[in-house]
Amino acid sequence: MKLQDLLKIVGIIDSGGQAKNFLADSVVLVNHQRETRRGRKLRKGDLITVGKSNFKIIAADEIK
């Protein structure tokens, strides 16, 4: 999954095209480091922070 896809799924942006501007204007952290690449590939275990919201990438079989 790409970072822009996560931002769309959780409702932070409406389209992938908005991701570039959002990432330029907002602080988004992936594993505690600032990320500005909308195509950044996210992997199991990655922690994404947007403002006060945190998201962790897990495998589908870990969803309860």
Pairing of strands 33-34, 28-30: antiparallel
Cβ atoms 55, 42 nearer than 8 A: no
Per-chain mean pLDDT for the chain: 93
Give the global pTM: 0.88
CATH of the domain at 52: 3.10.290.10
Full domain range(s) for residue 32:
3-62
Q: At residue 52, what is the residue type?
A: K
What is the number of structural domains in the chain? 1
pLDDT, residue 16, reads 82
pLDDT, residue 64, reads 61
Residues 46 and 24: their CA atoms lie apart, in Å, by 21
Question: Which pLDDT tens digit goes with each residue over 28-49?
Answer: 999 999 999 999 999 999 999 9
Pull the structure tokens for residue 28: 């988004």
